[in-house]
A and B are shown apart, each in its own frame.
Chain A
Amino acid sequence: MSTTPRLPLVDLGARSAFGSIRGHHPELAAKFTRMYGFFWQQGSLDAATKEAVRLRNARTVDCGY
């Protein structure tokens, strides 16, 4: 598993390497952020349930976030 970003960082002020790399395609990054924000702020599941699912998934697939 590689832990070094495989694309050059774009936004050095980003909170994460992943966020910075997404800057290579700003239009898709904006759409992703809009979708992800909607997912967390809206919907029928409470935030705690969503976070529990996110954390369990991240641990299972060895994601660092």
Chain B
Amino acid sequence: MHSRDDPDPLVRRGWTEIDLGADHPELNDLLVDLHASAAASCPGRTADLVEVRIHQLAGRDKRAGNGIDPDMVTSWYNNDQWSRAERALLEVIEVFAIDPHSVSDEQFEELRRHYTDREVMAIFYHATLTSSFDQLAAALAAPKE
């Protein structure tokens, strides 16, 4: 049993370095494998876009990869850097991260105009796991002072 003086390793490692594998290595391996596979199945740079936007909305820092400027993601609706497909993606992911029930049929159909059903599945697996790990981090680790 972990105490305040001897916290769970998940908490001890802090906001950005939670180590789920310390106490639950097998479950962690399965989750990490699923998350990595989902990201790898996302087309183009969509996996990075999804991660950056979801982390932003969760209040977490994320260094963007794949040539993505985080500031351009923050203001995606106000600049023309993004393709129609990426704009459809960002619109859906933004709503999904805040309230999954609020994703409209029209938004979902617009996403399907640009991505295959297999890609849509991969995108949502990736978004779900990214958002869930953010929630896990928020629940188990105190924010940095």
Taking CB atoms, residues of chain A closer than 8 Å to B38 are 28
For the side of the interface on B, what is the size category?
20 to 34
Taking CB atoms, residues of chain B closer than 8 Å to A61 are 100
A42 at the interface (CB under 8 A from B): yes
A52 at the interface (CB under 8 A from B): no
Residue of A1, A25, A39 touching B118 (CB-CB under 8 A): A25
Q: Mark B110-145, 1 if CB is under 8 A from A, else 0.
A: 001000011011100100000000000000000000
Taking CB atoms, residues of chain B closer than 8 Å to A34 are 30
Taking CB atoms, residues of chain A closer than 8 Å to B33 are 31, 35
Instruction: Work out how many contacts link A and B, with CB atoms closer than 8 A.
Output: 57
| With contact pairs A31-B34, A35-B27, A42-B26 given, residues A25 and B101 touching in the complex (Cβ less than 8 Å) | no
- Per the bound structure, the CA–CA distance linking A27 and B104 in Å amounts to 27
- Nearest A residue (CB) for B101: A1
Q: Is the interface of B mostly helix, strand, loop or mixed?
A: helix
A14 at the interface (CB under 8 A from B): no
B95 at the interface (CB under 8 A from A): no
Taking CB atoms, residues of chain A closer than 8 Å to B27 are 35, 38-39, 42-43
